Amino acid sequence: MHERHLRDLTVSAIGYGAMGFSHGYGPGADEAEAIRLLRHAHDLGCTHYDTAEGYGGGHNEELLGRALAPIRDEVVIATKLHVPEASGRDDLGRQIREHLQASMRRLGVDHVDLYYQHRVDDAGVEDVAAIMGELIADGLIRGWGQSQSSADQIRRAHAITPLTAIQSEYSMMERMFEAEVIPACEELGIGFVPFSPLASGFLSGAVTADQTYPGDDVRRAITRFDPDNVRANQPLIDLLHTFAAEKDATPAQISLAWMLHKKPFIAPIPGMRTQARVEENLGAADVVLSDAEFERIEAELAHVTIHGNRTDADIAKLRDDHH
């Protein structure tokens, strides 16, 4: 497996987003199977695992901790916190430490390699950055990051405690961060970790207009999965199939290879809940596009209109309807 650098953390070019084992995509693998898959990924060279305190109310961190316990020193574990409301800087620092300690207990670790602020509130950017610096100095975390932040928030935070990585949605279907955020990461030496790099599975090429998504499956709320949008997005899937056939690869692998070719500091974390998906997605690291192939894909993408998107607001609405 090829390696990438998120500032001073070394990770596999493709990591593992573990969220889907606990919530968000309908019924998943049972616990024993989830642990087997997480370990199998490491056998294939994966060293970067991502979770959050909010995934399944802590269940996901516990699951990941159990899965990785035998190989803790060989992997980078990333988790995230929702920064709590606080009455002043000291209270904020105390509460963030409590969240971190709780995450470490669930993960069964004595430090977290990469600790993200899970969505960023403009008001507290500098305070959170300073507190993260203290956690690094205390050896409780090795590095820190933000999720879905703006270039301005990144710059303000980085000036106080250098950021290790930004984790935000990025795929062929969601490219808004190419304008300012990815260039800011490049300029400042910050890693960029795409979540939903396959657009919640859309770019696998296996989605059909007549599929339904039960329960808390977030695809119910992601408008690109509306039947009309599935049909309207077919030109993108056709493009991926064309390139996949040329490269003896799959559409998902072409999607990931495109992203890896774009910048050397980009390290995506697809979610994977079957052995076939683990092997397919991690195998994308070996699908290398030439500059000419990459430019052809970029040129073709420029003519494709994307229909529908994924927004936090839509997903929150689904969650509210469901509880």
pLDDT digits (tens, 9 = 90+) for 260-280: 999 999 999 999 999 999 999
Please name which of 60, 42, 37 lies closest in space to residue 50, comparing C-alpha atoms.
Answer: 60
Residues whose CB is less than 8 angstroms from the CB of residue 314 and which lie 6 or more positions away in sequence, other chains included: 221, 222, 223
Residue 136 forms part of a structural domain: yes
CB atoms near residue 2 (< 10 Å): 13
Percent of the chain beyond pLDDT 90? 70
CATH number of the domain bearing residue 257: 3.20.20.100
**Mean of all residue pLDDT scores within the chain:** 90
Angle, CA 144 vertex, CA 270 and CA 129 arms, to 5°: 135
DSSP 119: S
Does 94 reside within a domain? yes
Dihedral, 200, 148, 184, 303 alpha carbons, nearest 10: 40
The answer, yes or no, to whether residue 144 has pLDDT greater than 50, is yes
| In the predicted structure, residue 322 carries a pLDDT above the cut 60 | no
Q: Give yes or no for residue 172 having a pLDDT over 50.
A: yes
Contact 302, 46 (CB under 8 A): no
155 in any annotated domain: yes
Alpha helices (runs of H) in 159-286, residue ranges in sequence order: 181-188, 227-232, 234-247, 251-262, 275-283
Q: How many domains does the chain have?
A: 1
76: tokens are: 């980078």
Domain annotation covers residue 74? yes
Residue 225 lies in a domain: no
Structure tokens at 5: 């650098």
Please state, in angstroms and rounded to a whole number, the distance separating the CA atoms of residues 288 and 13. Answer: 12
Residue 123 lies in a domain: yes
Residue whose structure tokens are 């092997």: 279
Question: What band does 206 get if pLDDT is binned at 50, 70 and 90?
Answer: confident
Q: Is 170 a catalytic residue?
A: no
Q: Looking at the predicted structure, is the pLDDT value of residue 236 above 90?
A: no
179 in any annotated domain: yes
Per the model's pLDDT, the better-predicted residue between 207 and 84 turns out to be 84
Higher pLDDT, 151 or 206: 151
C-alpha torsion 147→59→73→271, nearest 10: -60
State the residue range of the domain holding 117. 3-201+251-287
Query: Is 120 contained in some domain?
Result: yes
Structure confidence at residue 214 as a pLDDT band (50, 70, 90): low
Distance CA 188, CA 15 (A): 22
| 303 token code pair | 């003519």
- The catalytically annotated residue of 55, 115, 116, 170 is 55
Residue 120 pLDDT more than 80?
A: yes
State the pLDDT confidence band at 258, using cuts at 50, 70 and 90. Answer: very high
114-148: burial string, b at 16+ Cβ within 10 Å, e else: bbbbbebeeebbebbbbbbeebbeeebbbbbbbbb
